[in-house]
Amino acid sequence: MKHFLVKTIANAAALAVAIWLLKDITLTGDNTGRKILTLVLVALIFGLVNFIVKPVVKLLSFPLFILTLGLITLVVNALMLLLTSFLAGKFDLAFHVDGFWTAVLGGVIISIVSWAMHMILPEDD
């Protein structure tokens, strides 16, 4: 359970940094509490997308991973962020990623911040 909580906090922090740095990734809300709740819910959706969909996509695109020496990871991360944005819209969450290249840059930012957060936060069960 603690591992799940740590991953959710890391995802929320990474998404918050991407929202802060990129004007085309937006999170809106009436007040700060609503924005934080939306951010946590989007982090949960992002975690589920990365847990369920990403391994399937990586498996199906394995030849491209070899051919591009792993650079296709940037595209896969962008697609996962775009899918999260789509699902957030379906759940009426005020989170939106505008465009593929914004998603690529957002995916890079989220990967770096997530890695840093996992280094800082404890993962012991």
pLDDT at 4: 83
Asked whether residue 2 is assigned to any structural domain, the reply reads no
Backbone angles phi, psi at 25, to 5 degrees: -110, 115
37-46: pLDDT as tens digits: 999 999 999 9
* Rounded Cα distance, 11 and 42, in Å: 9
Asked whether residue 20 is assigned to any structural domain, the reply reads yes
Q: At what angle do helices 100-120 and 2-21 cross, to 10 degrees?
A: 140
Asked whether residue 107 is assigned to any structural domain, the reply reads yes
> Tokens 């007040």 belong to which residue?
31
pLDDT at 14 over 90: yes
pLDDT at 123 over 80: no
pLDDT at 125 over 60: no
Range of the domain at 104: 8-119
Asked whether residue 30 is assigned to any structural domain, the reply reads yes
Asked whether residue 125 is assigned to any structural domain, the reply reads no
Per the structure, the count of domains in the chain is: 1
pTM: 0.89
Asked whether residue 15 is assigned to any structural domain, the reply reads yes
42-93: pLDDT as tens digits: 999 999 999 999 899 989 989 998 999 889 999 999 999 999 999 999 999 9
pLDDT at 1: 64
Asked whether residue 82 is assigned to any structural domain, the reply reads yes
